[in-house]
Amino acid sequence: MIEKLKQNEELWDLFTKKEEYNLTFSDQYERFPYYLSSQRNVFDPKVSRFMVENGLHPEYPDGKKFAVCLTHDIDVVYPEKLYPIIGTAKAFAKGNLTGAMKTPFSRVNKKWNPCWNFKQIMELEAKYNAKSSFYFLALHPGEKDFDYKIEELEAELPFISDNGWEVGLHGGHESYNNLADIMEKKQRLEKVFGKKVIGYRNHYLRFKVPDTWELLSKAGFKYDTTFGYADCAGFRNGVCHPFRPYNLNTGKQIDILEIPLVIMDRTLLRDYMRLDVKKAWELIKDLVDKVEKCNGVVTILWHNNTSIDGKNLKYYEKFLEYVCGKNAWIASGEEIFNWWSNNVEKRE
Ligand SMILES: [Zn+2]
């Protein structure tokens, strides 16, 4: 497939993100934003369409046509520092809470806490026969955006994993560009968790092509799911399948699987695209339908503390209902990685 792509210069440049090499401008988080890209139709997975026309026909468990990868970045677990659009803990207390959510299961946290909601998220996903990935920060006090010590979640990590959901690393602000930092945070998370982690996403979707992939591969990660634009939903390199990135500097494929991010909750609304809820929903459906046509994977990032119209998981559930109704295989990043590397890549 790589050889076929190479013959099409336009698609090859898009697939490898040639335009992101040797940047002369980036945003305040050193990111390459969509508004600078020469690609003007980020909603078209044109590289994936080419791959499908040229023989890529991934299959999924139980004969499902396409897959959805569910992910959550855990930036915040303490309600006093909630993301601004979420409202107050009081508003939560008045809202529609399930009985399960009112019962904290942490032995560390005695008080009820709306952001300590891993169990509630898992119960919701289980209703749709789905699993997901939780990416945890392993920041030290004083580091930018520090909210919790990973040691405080000592009881939660095995609970998540023992039930079949995934625990992965959410790298800190500088991790994407610093191997020592990635490795230190990985080791710290693994020490508390008691197991190896294979999945990664960087905080703020900070990412440098191709360096971050190389660093993550060196640090022992099997897959990354950072690669999407913060300022626009869609397909950053025209691909809506997991893929092995190609390093134009070395002329080699990088030993890591990218499960590209398609939709981040915060991209759609106030922070970036400024869609209203109705328009955001139309866009989500359109992206899902396009991925379905390519037998691809839709990766969605839904923060545990995102709230729309004062309701924490209502819109997330709407998404689950939609993709479940389309008979998608709804899985964690780890499950997607295992399936892709053991089935799809082996058959190619
Ligand atoms: Zn984050």
pLDDT of residue 193: 97
54 CA distance to ligand 1 centroid (A)?
A: 37
CA of 202 to the centre of ligand 1 (A): 7
Q: What pairs with residue 258 in β-bridges?
A: 224, 243
What is the CATH number assigned to the segment(s) 2-32+39-347? 3.20.20.370
Question: CA 133, CA 23: separation in Å to the nearest integer?
Answer: 32
DSSP per-residue string spanning 226-280: --S-SSS-S-TTS--S-B--EETTTTEE-SSEE----EEHHHHSTTTT---HHHH
Ligand 1 center to 131 CA (angstroms): 20
CA distance 20 to 6: 18
pLDDT of the residue at 308: 74
Q: How far is the CA of 136 from the centre of ligand 1 (A)?
A: 9
* C-alpha of residue 172 to centroid of ligand 1, in Å: 8
Burial degree of 315 (CB within 10 A; 0-12, 13-18, 19+):
buried
Question: How confident is the model at residue 103, as a pLDDT?
Answer: 34
Q: How many Cβ atoms are within 10 Å of 87's Cβ, its own excluded? A: 18
- In the reported structure, the alpha carbon of residue 267 is separated from the centroid of ligand 1 by a whole-number distance in angstroms of 13
Task: Using DSSP bridges, classify how beta strands 257-258 and 263-264 pair: parallel, antiparallel or unpaired.
Answer: unpaired
The alpha carbon of 200 and the centre of ligand 1 are apart by a number of angstroms equal to: 11
Give the domain ranges of the chain: 2-32+39-347
One digit per residue, the tens of pLDDT, for the chain of length 348 reads 899 999 999 999 999 999 999 998 999 999 999 999 999 999 999 999 999 999 999 999 999 999 999 999 999 988 654 444 333 343 344 343 333 333 334 434 445 567 788 999 999 999 999 999 999 999 999 999 999 999 999 999 999 999 999 999 999 999 999 999 999 999 999 999 999 999 999 999 999 999 999 999 999 999 999 999 999 999 999 999 999 999 999 999 999 999 999 999 999 987 899 999 999 999 999 999 999 999 999 999 999 988 777 777 889 999 999 999 999 999 999 999 999 999 999 876
Contact between 79 and 114 under an 8 Å Cβ cutoff? The reply is yes
Question: In angstroms, what is the span from residue 103 Cα to ligand 1's centroid?
Answer: 26
Cis peptide bond prior to 260, omega within 30° of 0: no
* Rounded distance from Cα 344 to ligand 1 centre (Å): 30
What is the Å distance from ligand 1's center to 74 Cα?
7
- Burial of 195-230, coded b for 16+ CB within 10 Å and e otherwise, reads eebbbbbbbbbbbbbbebbbbbbebbbbbbbbbbbb
C-alpha of residue 72 to centroid of ligand 1, in Å: 9
CA of 345 to the centre of ligand 1 (A): 30
